[in-house]
């Protein structure tokens, strides 16, 4: 099918190794101008492109890195993926992405697939890092460079980039408090994490810290867990509304990401509530959909593309032999204030 080096060499009337040296611009290839030209022309004429797998086999690297994401149906990951791909392209690497499809089983499968896939390095967003611990340590010894998003793995030599949700969450919740809210709920659900690690998400922790700092109660019933899709959040919040007495009902909800927040918003609207008068909502990720939503969603944002680039740069430098100590960078977050929040409606007693 596709022309091979051999064919190019034959067409140009040179040896295969000569053609290789010229086409890959190997510095020790001292071909004469005329040979060089003949080979170039032959390659063009045939439309030659090196077979990257054959090449990779030979040089021991397929110049590919793997990315693990929980779920590409959440637009935040497609934004990440694109930024990573662009950064890698500049460095001559290609990207192959594996999706966990928002299940822990899927995540394990994806990790295994990546580790077995001849990639030169790995970038990971984990839902449950702990679950794969043995795998990485093994790979660490195998020298497969990795960088983690979100999870720090102390003393592993694995670089990571983190998002400090502290500031943004604090801004978000304090803004709600300032507006007069005292009965605030939280909806989480992205990560299908085993029970014992369930509350570990830093967004949740910060949320509770801020509440208690302001001496606000946090009844268990204000902790809403759903699946990871808009529909899941919708169903969960609908159920909450249907089963909760309006006087007990939260006047604001902090959702752990934008798509869940939008699911909540839709459920509230279908329940007859007005946003933001009857319910304030804040999301996380500051995806384009939060900005363009007909009722624009307030959201805790952070510099996605910069984070992606940083992680990619870490990986690339490791690939190039950088042996520095384990790196860890923290990015900050902030509240983007939009239409979805307002003072709570006055209680009509």
Partner DNA sequence: TTGAAAGCGCTAACAA
Partner DNA sequence: TTGTTAGCGCTTTCAA
Task: Tell me which residue of 186, 226, 179, 225 sits closest to 204, measured CA to CA.
Answer: 186
Residue 94 or 212: the one with the smaller Cβ distance to a copy of itself is 94
By a kind-dependent CB cut-off of 5 to 8 A, residue 5 interacts, out of a copy of itself, DNA, none, with: DNA
* 4 contact, one of DNA, a copy of itself, none, CB 5-8 Å limit per kind: DNA
226: CB partners within 8 A, 6+ apart: 187, 188, 189, 232, 233, 235, 236, 237, 260, 263
* 44 binding DNA? (CB under 7 A): no
Token pair 């307002």: residue: 342
Of a copy of itself, DNA, none, which one sits near residue 15, judging by CB under 5 to 8 A according to partner kind? DNA
Closest CA to 256 of 70, 81, 60: 70
Please tell me whether residue 4 binds DNA under the rule CB under 7 A: yes
Q: Which of 41, 54, 90, 198 binds DNA (CB under 7 A)?
A: 54
Q: Does 23 bind DNA (CB under 7 A)?
A: yes
72 binds a copy of itself (CB under 8 A): yes
Alpha-helix residue ranges (DSSP H) falling in 47-103 = 52-59, 75-90
277 binds a copy of itself (CB under 8 A): no
Residue 64 β-bridge partners: 94
Rounded CA-CA distance 187/241 in Å is 13
Among positions 62, 80, 125, 126, the unique one binding a copy of itself when judged by CB under 8 A: 62
Task: List Cα–Cα distances, 181 to 33, 279, 345, in angstroms.
Answer: 77, 10, 10
**Residue 82 binds a copy of itself, judged by CB under 8 A:** yes
* Beta carbons of 254 and 184 less than 8 angstroms apart: yes
**Sites for a copy of itself among residues 155-174 (CB under 8 A):** none
Closer by beta carbon to a copy of itself, 30 or else 292:
292
Would you count residue 53 as binding a copy of itself (CB under 8 A)? yes
* 275, interface contact from DNA, a copy of itself, none, CB < 5-8 Å by kind: a copy of itself
- What does the alpha-carbon distance between residue 274 and residue 341 come to, in Å, rounded to a whole number? 11
144 interacts with a copy of itself by CB under 8 A: yes
Residues 6 or more apart in contact with residue 182 via CB below 8 angstroms: 216, 251
Q: Which is nearer to DNA, 18 or 290 (CB)?
A: 18
In angstroms, how far is the first alpha carbon of the chain from the final one?
Answer: 79
Identify the sign of the CA torsion 13, 18, 24, 26.
negative
What's 300's DSSP letter?
E
- What distance in Å separates the CA atoms of residue 6 and residue 22, rounded to the nearest whole number? 13
Q: Does 26 bind DNA (CB under 7 A)?
A: yes
Q: Considering only the stretches 26-34, 68-76, 187-195, 303-311, report the one whose residues sit in contact with DNA under the rule CB under 7 A.
A: 26-34
Q: Which positions lie near a copy of itself, rule CB under 8 A?
A: 1-2, 47, 49, 51-54, 56-57, 62, 72-73, 75, 78-79, 81-82, 96, 99, 116-118, 138, 142-144, 229-231, 234, 262-263, 265-266, 269, 275, 288-289, 292-296
> Which residues would be at the binding site for DNA (CB under 7 A)?
4-6, 13-18, 20-21, 23-24, 26, 28-32, 34-36, 48, 50-51, 54-55, 57-60
């Amino acid at each position: 099918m596709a022309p091979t080096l051999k064919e190019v060499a034959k067409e140009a009337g040179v040896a295969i190794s000569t053609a290789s040296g010229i086409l890959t611009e190997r510095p020790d290839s001292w071909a004469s101008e005329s040979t060089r030209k003949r080979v170039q022309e032959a390659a063009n004429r045939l439309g030659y492109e090196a077979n990257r797998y054959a090449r990779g086999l030979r040089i021991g690297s397929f110049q590919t890195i793997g990315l693990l994401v929980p779920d590409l149906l959440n637009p935040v990951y497609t934004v990440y993926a694109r930024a990573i791909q662009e950064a890698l392209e500049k460095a001559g690497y290609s990207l192959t992405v594996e999706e966990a499809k928002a299940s822990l089983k899927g995540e394990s499968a994806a990790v295994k697939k990546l580790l077995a896939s001849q990639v030169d390095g790995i970038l990971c967003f984990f839902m449950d890092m702990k679950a794969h611990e043995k795998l990485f340590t093994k790979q660490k010894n195998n020298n497969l460079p990795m960088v983690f998003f979100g999870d720090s793995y102390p003393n592993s030599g694995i670089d990571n980039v983190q998002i400090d949700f502290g500031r943004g969450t604090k801004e978000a919740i304090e803004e709600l408090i300032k507006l007069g809210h005292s009965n605030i709920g939280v909806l989480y659900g992205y990560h299908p994490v085993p029970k014992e690690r369930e509350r570990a998400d830093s967004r949740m922790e910060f949320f509770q810290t801020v509440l208690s700092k302001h001496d606000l109660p946090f009844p268990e019933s204000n902790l809403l867990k759903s699946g990871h899709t808009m529909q899941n959040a919708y169903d969960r919040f609908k159920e909450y509304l249907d089963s909760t007495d309006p006087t007990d009902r939260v006047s604001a909800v902090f959702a752990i990401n934008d798509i869940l927040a939008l699911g909540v918003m839709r459920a509230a609207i279908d329940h007859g509530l007005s946003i933001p008068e009857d319910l304030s909502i804040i999301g996380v990720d500051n995806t384009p959909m939060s900005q363009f939503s007909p009722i624009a969603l307030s959201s805790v944002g952070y510099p996605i593309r910069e984070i992606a680039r940083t992680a990619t740069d870490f990986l690339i430098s490791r690939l190039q032999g950088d042996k520095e100590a384990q790196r860890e960078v923290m990015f900050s977050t902030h509240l983007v204030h939009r239409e979805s929040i307002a003072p709570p409606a006055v209680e009509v007693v």
